[in-house]
A = this chain, B = another copy of it.
C-alpha cells in the first residue's frame, strides 16, 4: 500500500496544491468577499464544480489558505529564538520577516485582510498560538532590558513595530511601487530597505550594530 505512490494520489495532491495556490492569490488580491470560487477555479485551471469537489465550501478553502499562511508565519517567528544575543536575534528575525514579505506577499495580504475584518476565521489562533508566542518573546525582551543589553522599551510596542514595518513591504507594496515611479523594488532597493529597517530598529532600542549585512546575505541575489 505504502510503497506505491499511485498516479491518482499524486494527481490529487497536485490539484489541491493548484487550488490552494490560486486561492491564496485571489483572496489576497480581492479579499474574502471579493474573491469568487469561479475566479479561483479559473486560475487553477479547473471547472468550478471540480473545485467544490476538493473543498466543500468557499469558507473551508479560505480557512485552509489562512492556516497554511499561519504556519509559515510561525516558522519565521521561531527564528526569533535562534540566537541568545539580542543584536543577532533581532537582526535575524527582522531580516527573516522582510524576506517573507518579499517572497510571500500574498500570504501577508490575506492575513492583513483577515485582521482588518476582525479575524472571523482565525480568532482562535490569535487567542492561543499567537498569544503564547507573544508572551514568551515579551519575557525574553524584558530579560534583555533588565540585563542592560538594550534600552528599556515596551516589548509589545517593539514587536508591533517589527511586524508592521516588515509586513508593510507586502501589504502596502502597491503604494510603495507607486512611489517608486510605478516600478517594482529592485533587489538592491529592497536590500537597502531591509538593512535600514534593521539598523533603525536596533539603534532605536539601544543596540549598537557591529557591521552591516553580517547576518544572512539574503534573498537579494
Interfacial residues, chain A to chain B (CB-CB below 8 A): 28-34, 109, 112-113, 115-119, 123, 126-127, 130-131, 134, 151, 153-154, 156-158, 160-161, 163-165, 167-169, 171-172, 174-176, 178-179, 182, 192-193, 196-197, 199-206
Contact = CB atoms under 8 A, between A and B. Distances in A.
B168 A160 contact: yes
Contact of A200 (B113, B161, B168, B175): B161
Nearest to A109: B116
A163 B126 CA distance: 24
B115 A174 contact: yes
Given A153-B196, A201-B200, A179 B30 contact: no
A119 B174 contact: yes
Given A164-B164, A203-B151, A204-B203, A175 B119 contact: yes
A176 to B, nearest CB: 7
A129 to B, nearest CB: 12
A127 B134 CA distance: 38
6 A-B pairs closest in CB distance: A204-B204, A164-B168, A200-B204, A33-B34, A157-B196, A164-B164
Nearest to A113: B116
Given A165-B165, A175-B126, A30 B131 contact: no
